[in-house]
Amino acid sequence: MANITKKVSWSSRTDESGAAGEDTPLLNGSEPPRRSRQLSEGDGIFQIGRLSTVDLEEEITSDEDSLRARPKEIPHNEKLLSLKYESLDYDNIENQLFLEEERRMGHMNFRCLEISRWVICGLIGFFTGLVACCIDIVVEILAGYKYKEVKENIEKFTEAGGLSISLLLWAVLNSAFVMVGSIIVAFFEPVAAGSGIPQIKCYLNGIKIPRVVRLKTLLVKVFGVICSVAGGLAVGKEGPMIHSGAVIAAGVSQGRSTSLKRDFKIFEYFRRDTEKRDFVSAGAAAGVSAAFGAPVGGVLFSLEEGASFWNQMLTWRIFFASMISTFTLNFFLSVHHNTPGELSSPGLINFGRFDSETMTYNLYEVPLFIAMGAIGGLLGALFNFLNYWLTIFRIRYVHRPCLQVMEAMLVAAVTAMVSFTMMYFSNDCQPLDSNSSEDYPLQLFCADGEYNSMATVFFNTPEKSVRSLFHNQPGTSSPLTLGLFTLTYFFLACWTYGLAVSAGVFIPSLLIGAAWGRLCGILLASITHSSDSMWADPGKYALIGAAAQLGGIVRMTISLTVIMMEATGNVTYGFPIMLVLITAKIVGDYFVEGLYDIHIKLQSVPFLHWEAPATSHWLTAREVMSSPVTCLNRIEKVGTIVDILSNTSTCHNGFPVVVQVANSDEPAKLCGLILRSQLIVLLKHKVFVELARSRLTMRKLQLKDFRDAYPRFPPIQSIHVSQDERECMMDLTEFMNPTPYTVPEETSLPRVFKLFRALGLRHLVVVNDENKVIGLVTRKDLARYHMGKHGLEELQLAQT
């Protein structure tokens, strides 16, 4: 039945640890070796694409130059699992320092901490709202300027006949904006490319993506998204808000900026993975909330993407951050729009309000909705499939930053060109209504008092095009216009996603969907020849189509339903939207995965899904774990520790601590677990048994010392240990986690998986029936197994 395809990886891994094992018993392979200096050269191929992979944050070998060279050596394969990503540690290290600190802290201190958490969430919401507001206003101004210029130019040349000059102006303006946006992304911070949602998904899943929550990333992201939207690309400014919110959260919650070298000495308690990840969830939620005016949708997004263990208070705080974020955005936008204090406007994207009185649906429309969901699923699968091949092409051939910038500029110019051509050859003229919502109505070759209908969708920012498709009166665009627009915009959006610019895919998806949805609505009305108001309103079908297309591409479920409900300010459509999203997901999943998952897979990230693959109960911890394990003694020689940490071929992060045994080959009894980062801090502070005896007055190490070093623990190479000190001993008892979670070796994979995922572990020790360490399970050991077409499959582990 379920058979496993064991690949080269297995043997190569065993070989490596076996070879090392002969020299130093008990000192090998708890995790397969991380990327070493020699291997890192092949990394460059991952430089482009959504997930940049330069591992600087706590990388030991950081040679950036070598990372961008020699792209073709490692065959690109999504059947690989990269070894270079580290996990976040959600498990609390309950060592003696922790217990002492807890004893010192009174009841009141815990209350203060709780209040701090709320304050931080408030701040996260506030700053996220503020950033969203800035992006919105600046984009509005820049895009407004651009369209005004081009419009004047077109009007000038329409009659004179030199419209190619207008085209040139438009293309150059677009390319200029995009060039700026692309340069900062490609050259300064590749991790800021794209929407950032895959990265945040990974982070919330517990994977450390280097530099993803840095201040520099935020700046590049914000500036980049302004440029790419103003540059007229088929992108949205909403996706990047999620990433921005996450960065803001990570920054605010730590009370310092490592980049700016400022430490505000506040919120020091929160300087560890557990707390930081909670706040990043809140930040992502605040980002969604600001982008779509959907605070509940934001909370659900965070939960859907990140939650392992639902915690009521945490969720409530996330909701608070989301609410503050929309509130802040609304307040500042109301000030900007000269109606200060009017707090009822929605988020960044404004779908316009669907009035619940007039807009309604009927039972016999339900099959239509399902059919539209299926169309959305099909188109979404096609989009993802095309983008998948495009991304592989880019990984192979478009990996140099300058090439990336040129591609982005090319796309910008082509977008302008295609749009212009479509407008030029369109003869869909509509009478210019006095209460029309057109921002830049273009007359072109239409009669006076009329405007070019194709221009309403092409000659505008995508957000406004979506809104006009939702709300324009029936008959404002011909079916041909909508069909052509869908076709061209589909390919433009597909080409655009994956460029080295900071931009989201939500709005283009919605726009494509709204266009063909409206087309469906018009066709239906013409088929039924009905003047019934039920069929006559194509806006409703535009909304359903938009949901179907977006669902078909990103495959989000409950959070997307709620986001759409909140963004339209209408709960009536909840049921049809959900139906459509379910259908789109089922149909789409039949062909290919969701866009974000594709990009995560292409980066070989060890992503843990919700559950272990079904039919994997026969796999046990013994088969899954890595072994033998590098263990440390309770009282260990400093030299041994330094050697283990310096060993670049086995760059482990967690070491089981065992009770003193004779130097035998037999496994030893587990008594704790200690992390690389802890050992580094101990070495740095020279917490040696001998020194403690000689200097009785030496300040005792506190948790504060560990927090101060977080998250950029120095590499072992930077710590100088003299030859004398190498002979000293270190007592780990006080610092290790004395009760790590363990599983017996016969435990099935799903059980291990459940424990690992539910508790957010990073290391899980496998013991035999005498409590002796026989293996260690890490994220990669679990992420390796997945459900393929032919049952359970195993991914190869790669050094990339």
Residue list 151-190, contact with a copy of itself (CB under 8 A): none
342 near a copy of itself, rule: CB under 8 A: yes
Please name every residue paired with 256 in a beta bridge, in sequence order, or none if there are none: 263
- Residues 742-781 within binding reach of a copy of itself (CB under 8 A): 742-744, 746-748, 750-751, 754-755, 758-759, 767, 769-771
Preceding peptide of 714 cis, ω within 30°: no
- Residues 293-322 within binding reach of a copy of itself (CB under 8 A): 293, 295-296, 299-300, 303-304, 307-313, 315-316, 319-320
> Contact 463/346 with Cβ under 8 angstroms?
no
One symbol per residue from 2 to 31: x for binding a copy of itself (CB under 8 A), - otherwise; what is it? x-----------------------------
DSSP, collapsed to helix, strand or coil, labels residue 765 as: strand
Binders of a copy of itself: how many residues, by CB under 8 A?
92
Residue entry with tokens 């430490």: 263
- Residues 237-296 within binding reach of a copy of itself (CB under 8 A): 293, 295-296
741 near a copy of itself, rule: CB under 8 A: yes
Q: Which of 254, 549, 561, 583 binds a copy of itself (CB under 8 A)?
A: 561
618 near a copy of itself, rule: CB under 8 A: yes
479-496 and 366-397 helices cross at what angle (nearest 10)? 40
122 residue type, one letter: G
Residue 311 CB, shortest distance to a copy of itself, in Å, is 5
DSSP, collapsed to helix, strand or coil, labels residue 398 as: coil
In whole angstroms, how far apart are CA 393 and each of 66, 247, 344, 403, 499?
21, 30, 46, 13, 12
- Residues 646-705 within binding reach of a copy of itself (CB under 8 A): 669-671
Q: Which of 570, 583, 603, 647 binds a copy of itself (CB under 8 A)?
A: 570
> Contact 247/216 with Cβ under 8 angstroms?
no
Distance CA(22)–CA(28), nearest Å, equals 9
Give the number of other Cβ atoms within 10 Å of residue 768's Cβ. 14
Residue 660 CB, shortest distance to a copy of itself, in Å, is 13
In whole angstroms, how far apart are CA 213 and each of 295, 341, 671, 790?
22, 33, 35, 38
Q: What is the DSSP pairing of strand 785-788 with strand 773-778?
A: unpaired
702 residue type, one letter: Q
403 near a copy of itself, rule: CB under 8 A: no
Residue 738 CB, shortest distance to a copy of itself, in Å, is 6
110 near a copy of itself, rule: CB under 8 A: yes
Residue 565 CB, shortest distance to a copy of itself, in Å, is 7
One symbol per residue from 352 to 391: x for binding a copy of itself (CB under 8 A), - otherwise; what is it? -x--xx-xxxxxx---------------------------
94 near a copy of itself, rule: CB under 8 A: yes
Collect all residues with Cβ–Cβ distance below 8 Å to 380 and sequence separation of at least 6: 509, 549, 551, 552, 553, 555, 584, 588
Q: Which of 99, 134, 165, 635 binds a copy of itself (CB under 8 A)?
A: 99
Binding part of the chain for a copy of itself, among 223-231, 382-390, 394-402, 607-615 by CB under 8 A, reads 607-615
Residue 309 CB, shortest distance to a copy of itself, in Å, is 5
Residue 513's nearest CA partner among 472, 560, 545 is 545
Q: Which of 3, 8, 65, 103 binds a copy of itself (CB under 8 A)?
A: 103
Which helix (DSSP H) or strand (DSSP E) does residue 766 occupy?
strand 763-767
- Residues 31-70 within binding reach of a copy of itself (CB under 8 A): none
Residue 1 CB, shortest distance to a copy of itself, in Å, is 6
Choose between 22 and 769: whose C-beta lies nearer to a copy of itself.
769
Distance CA(152)–CA(630), nearest Å, equals 71
Q: Which of 614, 635, 689, 698 binds a copy of itself (CB under 8 A)?
A: 614
Residue 505 CB, shortest distance to a copy of itself, in Å, is 21
Q: Which of 77, 528, 530, 615 binds a copy of itself (CB under 8 A)?
A: 615
Choose between 49 and 588: whose C-beta lies nearer to a copy of itself.
588
343 near a copy of itself, rule: CB under 8 A: yes
Terminal Cα-to-Cα distance of the chain (whole angstroms) = 32
Q: What is the DSSP pairing of strand 256-257 with strand 262-263?
A: antiparallel
- Residues 479-508 within binding reach of a copy of itself (CB under 8 A): none
> Contact 525/536 with Cβ under 8 angstroms?
yes
